[in-house]
Chains A and B, each alone.
Chain A
């Protein structure tokens, strides 16, 4: 929408252009949600120091879908654990909404790699796990809403071991969303799923992201996953991990997985990871 068009609609001209743009602001203009500065992490193993993270700086914008991609065991999960407040960095700090992170918080929920759902609770009780402070009625309707959102109707009373792997991840996603967090941290959430289920779950995640408008940090070693999901892709090096580059992924959504631009973007990530295009 050009500036001139506001003049055509007097009512709209009362609204500052920046407010209208907030409807779908260009990624670069969004407010910073999370700032990680100078993150280093050193584990002491016996007499040796293992340097896992080396000077990581990361900015995540409000409402953004950020994917961190890197080789297995490079320290991506450690970075996520630090950002989520489960681990302390050796040096550096993480600020979210300009407040210092010094522990886990209900406003920022982690979805774990595998089997993070509580196996002793039913699907329904898992989703309601973080809702103890709501009234029973509110709790019930909140659970019902998220059961529906992730497509688990009819499985409310099943135990996790009675449902499939993809459904378990849906339960965990619903459990995270039910407490209305403003950020979601996903640690290779689809890593244990088969190819087809993974594909379906990515689509589901994007649908939910569109419906719920959360800021998302998503960790993966799957390059396709990063190109399909991300607004921006952070490429990490192997250990000690640093950020190699941040790629703006401006492919229009929904993304065509066989388009030339998609393939170019994928090749770019491959190149940054130092991987050959031929096998």
Chain B
């Protein structure tokens, strides 16, 4: 809840230090890293300066942008495809308990298989290329997101379902007017977590199945001349993009129509508010 007008200069210093704190940790670590590299004179890990130079070099010749776009493109297709299938499937399975009893065990067995284990089959089915990487992303999102949609539909408080029935809704109509909106906050949480998984998996998929993308870029930098500065540059970029994707999804979670959750309605806001007040109270 920043953005309020604060008159006192103490307030702005406090707010400055609050915003600066996350960066202080990063800057500290980078400095320590650079210092350790420069005094130890080893070649096991390039320093931040070298990695930064690599980023600048690769950005200027357009390679990095090309690889980043390739990775994002694969994630987008696999992820969106899986979401379109998983959310309706999960909600229906969660709502119709007979269907869940039939399909649940299949889901439970497929879920713990790492999506990377599918790589040989993906290559067999669709060949080496974009499609097999997209297929692997798709699988990596499909199982966890379906499971979380099933759980979301099953954990909807009975009183919402009963209220819906009371107003004359059929079981099918309830699915659209009560189950889906009631599950939405949990679905968005599931979407955020599975986007993280997709971003983890795309790198691995690209190391094996394709000739572009950030995963390929990292493996290629090593194979084509032990350019570990480029390897680290690629890793840093993956981390940064991951943070941006996660932040975008968090923004969605906090939107006004989703800023409730029935399991948070009673307890947590009060506690959170009390904690916030406490913190404000302690501040000088």
Give the shortest distance, in Å, between B27 (CB) and chain A (any CB): 38
- Choose the segment among A6-14, A34-42, A50-58, A116-124 that binds chain B (4+ C-beta atoms closer than 8 Å): A116-124
A112 touching B269 in the complex, CB below 8 Å, given contacts A120-B184, A160-B260, A161-B260: no
Q: Which of A104, A106, A118 contacts B160 (CB 8 A)?
A: A118
Give the shortest distance, in Å, between A82 (CB) and chain B (any CB): 13
A119 touching B260 in the complex, CB below 8 Å, given contacts A112-B159, A161-B265, A161-B269: yes
B257 touches A120 (CB 8 A): yes
A119 touching B178 in the complex, CB below 8 Å, given contacts A104-B166, A106-B167, A161-B260: no
Give the shortest distance, in Å, between B236 (CB) and chain A (any CB): 39
Q: Interface code B149-164, partner A: CB below 8 Å = 1, 0 otherwise?
A: 0000000010110110
Which residues from 168 to 188 on chain A have a C-beta closer than 8 Å to any C-beta of chain B? 179
A109 touches B257 (CB 8 A): no
A120 touches B159 (CB 8 A): no
B167 touches A110 (CB 8 A): no
For the complex, is A159 an interface residue (Cβ under 8 Å from B)? yes
Q: Which of B167, B181, B259, B262 contacts A179 (CB 8 A)?
A: B167
Give the shortest distance, in Å, between A166 (CB) and chain B (any CB): 15
Q: How far is the CA of A43 from the CA of B159 in the complex (A)?
A: 19
For the complex, is A129 an interface residue (Cβ under 8 Å from B)? yes
For the complex, is A84 an interface residue (Cβ under 8 Å from B)? yes
Q: How far is the CA of A192 from the CA of B182 in the complex (A)?
A: 22
Q: Work out how many contacts link A and B, with CB atoms closer than 8 A.
A: 60
For the complex, is A239 an interface residue (Cβ under 8 Å from B)? no
Query: Given the complex, which residues of B lie within 8 Å of A108, measured CB to CB?
Result: 166
Classify the interface of chain A: helix, strand, loop or mixed: loop
The chain A residue with its CB closest to the CB of B173 is A132
Q: How far is the CA of A251 from the CA of B168 in the complex (A)?
A: 37
Q: Give the number of residues in A that approach B within 8 Å (Cβ atoms).
A: 25
Query: Given the complex, which residues of B lie within 8 Å of A119, measured CB to CB?
Result: 260, 262, 265
Q: Interface code A93-105, partner B: CB below 8 Å = 1, 0 otherwise?
A: 0000000000111
Give the shortest distance, in Å, between B253 (CB) and chain A (any CB): 14
Query: Given the complex, which residues of B lie within 8 Å of A110, measured CB to CB?
Result: 162-163, 166
- Classify chain B's interface size: 20 to 34
Q: How far is the CA of A240 from the CA of B162 in the complex (A)?
A: 25
For the complex, is B43 an interface residue (Cβ under 8 Å from A)? no
Which residues from 140 to 178 on chain A have a C-beta closer than 8 Å to any C-beta of chain B? 159-161
Query: Given the complex, which residues of B lie within 8 Å of A106, measured CB to CB?
Result: 166-168
A115 touching B166 in the complex, CB below 8 Å, given contacts A120-B181, A159-B256: no
Q: How far is the CA of A224 from the CA of B66 in the complex (A)?
A: 73
Q: Interface code A176-209, partner B: CB below 8 Å = 1, 0 otherwise?
A: 0001000000000000100000000000000000
For the complex, is B222 an interface residue (Cβ under 8 Å from A)? no
For the complex, is B266 an interface residue (Cβ under 8 Å from A)? yes
Query: Given the complex, which residues of B lie within 8 Å of A71, measured CB to CB?
Result: none
A115 touches B265 (CB 8 A): yes
Query: Given the complex, which residues of B lie within 8 Å of A118, measured CB to CB?
Result: 160, 163, 178, 181-182
Give the shortest distance, in Å, between B176 (CB) and chain A (any CB): 12
Query: Given the complex, which residues of A lie within 8 Å of B182, measured CB to CB?
Result: 118, 120
For the complex, is B165 an interface residue (Cβ under 8 Å from A)? yes
Query: Given the complex, which residues of A lie within 8 Å of B184, measured CB to CB?
Result: 120
A109 touches B260 (CB 8 A): no
Query: Given the complex, which residues of B lie within 8 Å of A121, measured CB to CB?
Result: 181
The chain B residue with its CB closest to the CB of A117 is B163
Q: B: which residues have CB within 8 A of A?
A: 157, 159-160, 162-163, 165-168, 178, 181-182, 184, 256-260, 262, 265-266, 269
Q: A: which residues have CB within 8 A of B?
A: 84, 86, 103-106, 108-110, 112-116, 118-121, 129-130, 159-161, 179, 192
- Residue contacts A-B, CB under 8 angstroms, 27 given: A84-B166, A103-B165, A105-B166, A106-B166, A109-B166, A109-B167, A110-B163, A110-B166, A112-B162, A115-B157, A115-B262, A116-B159, A116-B163, A118-B160, A118-B163, A118-B181, A119-B262, A119-B265, A120-B181, A120-B182, A120-B257, A129-B167, A159-B259, A159-B260, A161-B260, A161-B269, A192-B266
